[in-house]
Amino acid sequence: MFIFSSKKLNKYYLYKMNSIKVKNCSACRTPFNCGDTPEGSKCWCKNFPPIFTPTEVVDCLCFSCFTAACSTKIDKYVATLSSETATNNKAKDLPKTTHLIEGIDYYLENGNYVFKAWFHLKRGHCCTNGCRHCPYGFKKI
């Protein structure tokens, strides 16, 4: 077993974390950064819902193409839900994230945030506010 002095340990972790790679998006060819930053922040993709398996092309997509791919996949999933099955959806069991992503959780319309079905599904129940994309079938009377 190796014992590191705290200075050495620090250096070791910085080395381990400084793993940003520049990749080229397999869809649009734009170069993008991939990996955790030396400051210790996780890669941007860690904020996204873990809805892809590692065998899919996800690893090679830039932020905007990944957002689009994610959104398409989510839309397909949302389409399979009914107001009855929505309370038992898969999204509510995913690890909770505090980070909301434009195009996944919400979109902007005239400067207003409009929450998408995915955002409501993660909560797991209806908030009875009559949201536009309510997946639970709530209708305001």
Q: Enumerate binding residues for Zn ion (CB under 5 A).
A: 25, 27-28, 30, 62, 65
Q: How far is the CB of 23 from Zn ion (least distance, A)?
A: 10
Of 63 and 106, CB closest to Zn ion: 63
For residues 115 and 133, the answer to whether their CB atoms sit within 8 Å is yes
Of 66 and 136, CB closest to Zn ion: 66
Of 20 and 57, CB closest to Zn ion: 57
Angle 39-122-72 (CA atoms, 0-180°, nearest 5)? 85
Q: How far is the CB of 32 from Zn ion (least distance, A)?
A: 7
- Within 8 A by CB and 6+ apart from 140, the residues are 130
Of 62 and 74, CB closest to Zn ion: 62
Using CA atoms, how far residue 21 sits from 82, 98, 122, in Å, is 41, 25, 31
Q: How far is the CB of 16 from Zn ion (least distance, A)?
A: 28
Q: How far is the CB of 29 from Zn ion (least distance, A)?
A: 7
Closest CA to 116 of 71, 82, 73, 64: 71
Residue 107's Cβ-count burial label (10 Å; 0-12, 13-18, 19+) is middle
